Amino acid sequence: MYINFVVVLISYFCLSASLTFDSAVTVFPLDFADSKLSNVMGTSALKNMSKFCANLAFLFPEQPLLDRYKLAKDAGFKAVETGFPLGHTKEQVVEAKNAAGIQQILINIYTGDVTKGELGFAAVPGKEDEFRKSIDLTIDYAKALGARKIHIMAGRVDEGNITAAHDLAYENNLRYAVGLLEKENILGVIEPINKYSIPNYYMNCYDKALSVIKKINSPNLKLMLDIFHLQLIRGNISNTIKELIEYIGHVQIAQAPNRNEPNCPGEINYQYVLGQLQNAGYNDWIGLEYKPVSNTKDGLKWIGELGIV
Check if the beta carbon of residue 248 is closer than 8 Å to that of residue 213.
no
Identified catalytic residue from 81, 130, 191, 261: 191
Distance CA 300, CA 309 (A): 12
Is residue 246 part of the annotated active site? The answer reads no
**Cα(250)–Cα(283) distance, integer angstroms:** 10
- Residues 246, 222: contact at Cβ < 8 Å? no
Determine which one of 81, 130, 261, 289 is catalytic: 289
DSSP β-bridge partners for residue 19: 27
Helix, strand, coil tally for the chain in percent (to 5): 45, 15, 40
* E strand or H helix at 81: strand 79-82
Distances 137 to 23, 53, 93, 179 between C-alpha atoms, Å: 25, 23, 14, 15
Degrees to nearest 5, angle at CA 147 with 146 and 149: 150
Tell me the C-alpha distance between 27 and 286, whole Å: 13
**Separation of alpha carbons 103 and 89, rounded Å:** 18
CB-CB contact of 50 with 30 (8 Å): yes
> Which residues, including other chains, have CB under 8 Å from residue 161's CB and lie 6 or more apart?
none
Distance CA 308, CA 44 (A): 12
Cα gap 201→145, rounded to integer Å: 28
Please name which of 286, 171, 177, 184 lies closest in space to residue 227, comparing C-alpha atoms: 286
Whether residue 184 lies in the annotated active site: no
Residues assigned a catalytic role: 191, 289
